[in-house]
Amino acid sequence: MPKVINPVDISKEENEAKKDYFDRHTPHVYCESKAKKAEKFTVKVTMGKDYPHPDDHDHYIQYVQLWNRQTMLAEATFTAGALGNMAGHVEVDFNIVPTVSMKLSAMSYCTKHGLWQSEDVEVSVE
């Protein structure tokens, strides 16, 4: 089983290299906190906030997944060069149709640094 790296509060990290390392690998889930049952609902996932991740042939973000608790809802895959071989923030909009309240999280995979998890985001569905 691969080790999954949980989000780290980088505001408490003083080492600049560690801040960069943790930030650029951490996926973040952005969406409304309420959704309407059986209607399209957009969930944005972005990688990092302040520090961009490389997009090199041997080091890039290969996939981003959206999960509701233990169920994977969607996945987007990338090849090296999708960001023009320039460091950047991978960003994906997932459109889902919820039927029950959700606890969303994202997982992302860096080809050099492994599997990373976001914070959970609760969405109530009415």
Binding site for Fe ion (CB under 5 A): 110, 112-113
Minimum distance, C-beta of residue 54 to Fe ion, in the bound complex (Å): 7
Residue number, 104 or 110, with CB nearest to Fe ion: 110
Residue number, 83 or 110, with CB nearest to Fe ion: 110
Minimum distance, C-beta of residue 58 to Fe ion, in the bound complex (Å): 10
Q: Output the furthest CA–CA distance in the chain (Å, rounded).
A: 46
Task: Kindly list the distances between the CA atom of residue 2 and the CA atoms of 36, 83, 108, 109, in Å, as whole numbers in the listed order.
Answer: 35, 26, 12, 11
If DSSP codes are grouped into helix, strand and coil, which group holds residue 94?
Answer: strand
Residue number, 26 or 105, with CB nearest to Fe ion: 26
What sign does the CA torsion over 71, 73, 77, 82 have?
A: negative
Q: Which residues pair with 67 in a beta bridge?
A: 72, 105
Q: Are 118 and 29 in contact (CB under 8 A)?
A: yes
Minimum distance, C-beta of residue 115 to Fe ion, in the bound complex (Å): 11
- Name the closest residue to Fe ion (Cβ): 110
Q: How far apart are CA 14 and CA 126, in angstroms?
A: 43
Minimum distance, C-beta of residue 108 to Fe ion, in the bound complex (Å): 10
Residue number, 40 or 112, with CB nearest to Fe ion: 112
